[in-house]
Structure 1
């Protein structure tokens, strides 16, 4: 067994020979860059993930010699607009190498930027389709844009040149429109950008009723700086936000997913400012047009009324005398008829009054007799009830006096009972008396004095 063993170096040499025999020429490999460090040469870690679970299923070390790296890096970044960095999916041409000392490694010789662009576009389309399937892709676009967007919440970096340009354009507009602007600071590039932008949106949501629109703006920069705006979670926040959102992310070539879901996407911050000013100008023109139309309508109406009044005046001018004469005759007739009617009514009223007077006198006389009879009846009833009451009370008093007489001390003594008195008080408990105490016993007739022995 021992005679068949080989050294570790021999084993690694055989592995190297086997690998170099299997891969005598460079091969194209698709992988994701999970780590990238540049120390003269560029050192990478390439991985492959399971599409359904995102679990890493393969991993390998790779490197780009400095000379090759200095050629590939600008070529890739110029072609894609993205910096060669961790997180990108790439197609690279590699030589498969095996070192007896360091093991397996891949030496990158070339890179295909078109694959990375295609993969990024594919991922963008997947996110857009997901937003569409969830029914939120067009939600922000469907919101009604305010007629006068005066109160504006801005999501940007305070130091960004794009933000300063936006403020200058908005506040220095030729029409002199005044805007109320509130900045909600956020990072506009880098790994943390999407989180700070979402936090800014959540802060604005707390004051939703204060603002008319939300503006997300940034200055120009590399295409790779826009990667945060292709994030699903950020896009979902923007799509479902209850206020219209305008974007001015500052890139002419590419449209981000956030641009796709926003109410309106404009190229630059100054374009957003111009759009807001134009909204005011359009509304101002509409108001001026309405005022002008209203003034014309009022003047036309006044002219029509003037013509109508003139026609009435001319008509009355000729018909008024005869109309007055006819009216006087009608009034005289009405007055005569009214006089007859009033006389009839007055006569009827006098007769009715006399009748009611007689009826009232009769009723009063009859009522008086009835009341006298009622009073006599009540007097008799009162006398009877009083006598009954007094008799009952007298019987009650006699009964109570008899009861009092039966329970009087003298009656009790006459029935054979006695009362023992000590020291002026009635004795109720014999145990409280002591030797030599002098007591008095009261009988029905006479008293007995005694001494306790």
Structure 2
């Protein structure tokens, strides 16, 4: 409820009235109708109506928007270049519809290298000398990550773009957000801490460092040494997707891969799942075709062998071989029988010879064997002497005799 003692002022201004009042103060001021301003060009954006730029004072942390209309571009002494220190001549103009003011530039003069650009160049040279931007340090991104970590602001459009892109390309992928400030004085330490949180968590296979587009001064945090070192020292591959700027930030140079937009970074991290399925199906079809061709080749080979077998008439050859084996068998049987008969006859002959030579048979026919005392057979009477004792072996029994005389 509104207190009854509160009185509405009779002099309250409308928004339009206040804006017009501010416009008259600025545009009617003689000093602001033609003013020389020195500053560093922090951003330059060509447009169909003119050249829009931002002048910055790094020491005072101040900036002003400016424009050079197309009709004035050909009259400039030098074209404004990002990072250069310039002196401009212009007029302050107020735009009531936007409630803003900017400097309309008529002339641009060179004033040397800007302090911000100089500091950026010196930092880049120092980090480059340390090897933080060396291509040999770049690591390939995992082809099929299971967990993707994203370092960005939860309120940034970049976070939504990355989520949509990853979900569309690779459904079921786990995405972790490590929130960070991505603009302002506190952004560098916030980004470095967010990267370290991802490392300590240990689940992510790849990290996306991202924010949407913006003016160059809005992206200064990605040129901060703390952020660059955090990116370079990260134990997992890092891909950056920072804005739509043509110039790469130092964080881009230190990252394993640089994409120019958050969406492009998400596209580089994962393949399209549908494409993988289609590739797998194509490989299956190719494998099936190769297998079918191999089977067809082997079938043709078997057919050729069958044809060769039919021409060789193996049944006839086998029959001939059987006949040869049967003939050899008969020859072997006959040869064995002949050899057996010969052996039997020879055995009979030997038996008869042995019987003829058998001493027992001789003795049975009335013969006797006479042995001397030393056991030697007496074959001649001339070897005997009277008185020699002899042993006479008969067919049955033995006799002992003494030689009485030898005629």
Aligned partner of residue 130 in structure 1, secondary structure? helix
Match in the other structure for 1:215: 208
Cα deviations by residue, 1:100-141 (Å, 9 ceiling, x for unpaired) = xxxxxxxxxx9x996686443333333333233222313686
Query: How far apart are residue 301 of structure 1 and its match?
Result: 1.1
Match in the other structure for 2:299: 306
Residue 251 of structure 2 corresponds to residue 255 of structure 1:
no
Distance in 2 (CA, whole Å) between partners of 1:70 and 1:330 is 126
Query: How far apart are residue 267 of structure 1 and its match?
Result: 1.9
Output the aligned Cα RMSD.
4.4
Q: 1:114 to 1:283 in 2, by over 3 A?
A: farther
Distance in 2 (CA, whole Å) between partners of 1:320 and 1:78 is 93
Query: How far apart are residue 91 of structure 1 and its match?
Result: 6.4
Query: How far apart are residue 243 of structure 1 and its match?
Result: 2.3
- Choose which of 311, 315, 321 in structure 1 pairs with 2:315: 321
Match in the other structure for 1:297: 290
Match in the other structure for 1:132: 128
* Maintained 8 Å contact 2:232/2:254: yes
Match in the other structure for 1:3: none
Query: How far apart are residue 182 of structure 1 and its match?
Result: 0.7
Match in the other structure for 1:195: 189
1:69-218 paired onto structure 2 within 5 Å? 72=37, 81=54, 83-84=56-57, 86=59, 118-138=114-134, 142-173=138-169, 177-208=171-202, 210-218=203-211
Distance in 1 (CA, whole Å) between partners of 2:255 and 2:294 is 47
* Maintained 8 Å contact 2:85/2:113: no
Give 1 or 2: higher helix fraction: 1
Please list every run of 5 or more consecutive structure 2 residues that lacks an aligned counterpart in the other structure. Answer: 1-21, 23-29, 45-52, 62-82, 88-104, 337-407
Match in the other structure for 1:270: 263
Please list every run of 5 or more consecutive structure 1 residues that lacks an aligned counterpart in the other structure. Answer: 1-39, 41-64, 94-109, 341-453
* Maintained 8 Å contact 1:177/1:277: no
Q: 1:150 to 1:296 in 2, by over 3 A?
A: same
Query: How far apart are residue 181 of structure 1 and its match?
Result: 0.6
Match in the other structure for 2:236: 243
Match in the other structure for 1:347: none
Provide the aligned length of Structure 1 versus Structure 2. 255
Match in the other structure for 1:395: none
Q: 1:251 to 1:117 in 2, by over 3 A?
A: farther
Residue 228 of structure 2 corresponds to residue 232 of structure 1:
no
Structure 2 length as normaliser, TM-score? 0.51
Distance in 1 (CA, whole Å) between partners of 2:206 and 2:292 is 39
Structure 1 length as normaliser, TM-score? 0.46
Distance in 1 (CA, whole Å) between partners of 2:84 and 2:31 is 19
* Maintained 8 Å contact 1:90/1:113: no
1:355-394 paired onto structure 2 within 5 Å? none
Aligned partner of residue 172 in structure 1, secondary structure? helix
* Maintained 8 Å contact 1:140/1:245: no
Aligned partner of residue 203 in structure 1, secondary structure? helix
Q: 1:224 to 1:294 in 2, by over 3 A?
A: same
Distance in 1 (CA, whole Å) between partners of 2:316 and 2:113 is 98
